[in-house]
Amino acid sequence: MLKRFLPNEHVKSIFEINPEALKEKGIKGVITDLDNTLVAWDVREATPEVKDWFKQMKDQGIKVTIVSNNKEERVKFFSEPLETPYVFSARKPLRKAFKVAAKEMGLQRDEMVVIGDQLLTDVLGGNSAGFHTILVVPIVKTDEKITRINRSIERRILNYFRNKGKITWEEK
């Protein structure tokens, strides 16, 4: 059961994920979380670095869709200037939003990765839906109330994996 919480990869930020490396692995699409994955949860717009990352993906033919549990206003405001499709109120970790995003991109599960900062939503949902998952370190240490509860549970799961030798990275 706990293996569904284990990401396939771990990176410090999205900026360690480059389109050339994805293409070498046969990846043609990315489903990414928004809050604390792309920008801090209280930042409304993409930073210049995030805009550049999206441009790099697009230039290399990698499709990107933002899948967020947040409300439409938040996700739309962030996504539209990037000309990026999005799914709001995704109800992650349920699989439906991941499958909708894949269908809209016209890609198979083995051609995509899911990127996010939370085990209980992004990794669990991506793994349950059959995608390759990449966990990123949250951009900021602060979170909304419900996410703080999730982080407490995540720390226990990560410690379990660390003690079993399933993960080797350290929390910062």
Looking at residue 171, its pLDDT comes to 56
Indicate if the pLDDT at residue 143 is higher than 70: no
Structural domain contains residue 143: yes
Indicate if the pLDDT at residue 165 is higher than 50: yes
Taking residues 64-84, what's their average pLDDT? 97
CATH of the domain at 86: 3.40.50.1000
Which residue range is the domain that position 98 belongs to? 2-163
pTM assigned to the model = 0.91
In angstroms and rounded to an integer, the radius of gyration of the C-alpha atoms of the chain is 15
Structural domain contains residue 169: no
Looking at residue 172, its pLDDT comes to 45
Looking at residue 151, its pLDDT comes to 79
When divided into structural domains, the chain yields a total of 1
Q: In a 3-state reduction of DSSP, which class is residue 57?
A: helix
Indicate if the pLDDT at residue 95 is higher than 80: yes
Q: How far is CA 101 from CA 28, 130, 157, in A?
A: 13, 13, 27
Higher pLDDT pick, 155 / 99: 99
Looking at residue 98, its pLDDT comes to 97
| 150 exposure class (CB count in 10 Å sphere: 0-12, 13-18, 19+) | middle
Structural domain contains residue 170: no
